[in-house]
């Protein structure tokens, strides 16, 4: 009876040791293929394609000629997929890359309320020296709006799942309403289960 208990204890320890997880750092630029859902590799591919396209399109090159650095605001990308996708991460990556190019300036519309509160504090609280307070009505207005949609088509047949993503973006001149640039990035991923379901 004692030997059976000892064997059971050893088996339990071995089972627990086999269930331990291991965490390792990976290169964020490596292709990630854990699932067919939208992932980090897809985000990076979309951001790179959109930025490269925008910076090399003749109409946009004319807008940024002579160091003019147009002012842009980025509207949140509409998620038209059935997945929960953090589209703010996509817009963050795109606007960061465009800003780092030195050819654009950005207005952050997500912080308007915070800026308004700070300006109210500076101008009406009586705590800030009026000579150093930032005055209302001095901010630069955006000239262009960058916006887009992320959509998907999902098909499944037996053990095969196919997911198609399409990211479309446009740059609109706010004064004229004209679209100065548009492009899209397509991604298709497929997953097939093996006979054993692995």
Mean pLDDT across the stretch 11-20?
60
Cα(158)–Cα(178) distance, rounded to whole angstroms?
46
Cα(196)–Cα(190) distance, rounded to whole angstroms?
18
Q: What is the CATH number of the domain that holds 144?
A: 3.40.50.10610
Read off the pTM.
0.77
Is the sign of the CA dihedral 109, 104, 119, 137 positive or negative? negative
- Per-residue model confidence as pLDDT tens digits over 148-193: 999 999 998 888 889 999 999 999 999 999 999 999 999 999 988 7
- Percent of the chain at pLDDT > 90 equals 52
Considering only residues 159 and 53, tell me which one the structure prediction assigns the higher pLDDT. 53
DSSP 71-86: EEEEPPPEEESSS---
Compute CA distances 127 → 106, 121, 133, 186, whole Å: 30, 8, 10, 54
Considering only residues 3 and 173, tell me which one the structure prediction assigns the higher pLDDT. 173
**Does the residue 21 lie in any domain?**
yes
What pLDDT score was predicted for residue 8? 62
Token pair 């854990």 in the structure block, residue: 34
DSSP-derived pairing of the beta strands 78-80 and 144-157: parallel
Considering only residues 19 and 198, tell me which one the structure prediction assigns the higher pLDDT. 19
Residue 197 has pLDDT above 90, yes or no: no
Q: Contact 54/64 with Cβ under 8 angstroms? A: no
Residue 142 has pLDDT above 60, yes or no: yes
Token pair 């293929």 in the structure block, residue: 33
**Does the residue 184 lie in any domain?**
yes
**Does the residue 23 lie in any domain?**
yes
Our measurement of the distance from residue 46's CA atom to the centroid of its chain's CA atoms, rounded to an integer in Å, reads 9
- Per-residue model confidence as pLDDT tens digits over 64-84: 998 889 999 999 899 999 999
The tally of domains found in the chain comes to 1
**Does the residue 129 lie in any domain?**
no
What pLDDT score was predicted for residue 13? 59
What pLDDT score was predicted for residue 137? 84
Give residue 103's pLDDT band: very low, low, confident or very high (50, 70, 90).
very high
Mean pLDDT of the chain: 86
Which range is least confidently modeled, 9-18, 126-135, 178-187? 9-18
**Does the residue 158 lie in any domain?**
yes
What pLDDT score was predicted for residue 192? 86
**Does the residue 127 lie in any domain?**
no
DSSP 19-32: T--------TTS--
**Does the residue 55 lie in any domain?**
yes
What pLDDT score was predicted for residue 91? 92
Q: Contact 169/98 with Cβ under 8 angstroms? A: no
Show the domain range for 98: 2-110+140-192
**Does the residue 126 lie in any domain?**
no
Considering only residues 33 and 113, tell me which one the structure prediction assigns the higher pLDDT. 113
Cα(32)–Cα(91) distance, rounded to whole angstroms?
20
């Amino acid at each position: 009876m004692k030997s059976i208990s000892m064997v059971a204890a050893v088996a339990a320890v071995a089972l627990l040791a086999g269930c331990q997880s291991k965490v390792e750092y990976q290169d964020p630029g490596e292709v990630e293929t854990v699932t067919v859902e939208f992932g980090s590799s897809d985000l990076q591919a979309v951001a790179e394609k959109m930025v490269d396209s925008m910076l090399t399109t003749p109409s946009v090159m004319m807008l940024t000629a002579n160091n003019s650095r147009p002012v842009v605001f980025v509207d949140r990308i509409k998620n038209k997929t059935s997945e929960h996708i953090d589209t703010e991460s996509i817009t963050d990556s795109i606007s960061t890359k465009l800003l780092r190019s030195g050819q654009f300036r950005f207005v952050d519309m997500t912080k308007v309320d915070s800026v308004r509160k700070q300006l109210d504090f500076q101008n009406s609280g009586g705590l800030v020296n009026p000579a150093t307070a930032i005055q209302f009505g001095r901010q630069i207005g955006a000239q262009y709006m960058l916006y887009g949609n992320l959509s998907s088509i999902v098909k499944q047949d037996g053990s095969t799942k196919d997911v198609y993503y399409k990211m479309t973006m446009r740059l609109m001149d706010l004064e004229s309403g004209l679209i100065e640039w548009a492009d899209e990035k397509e991604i298709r991923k497929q997953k097939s289960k093996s006979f054993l379901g692995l």
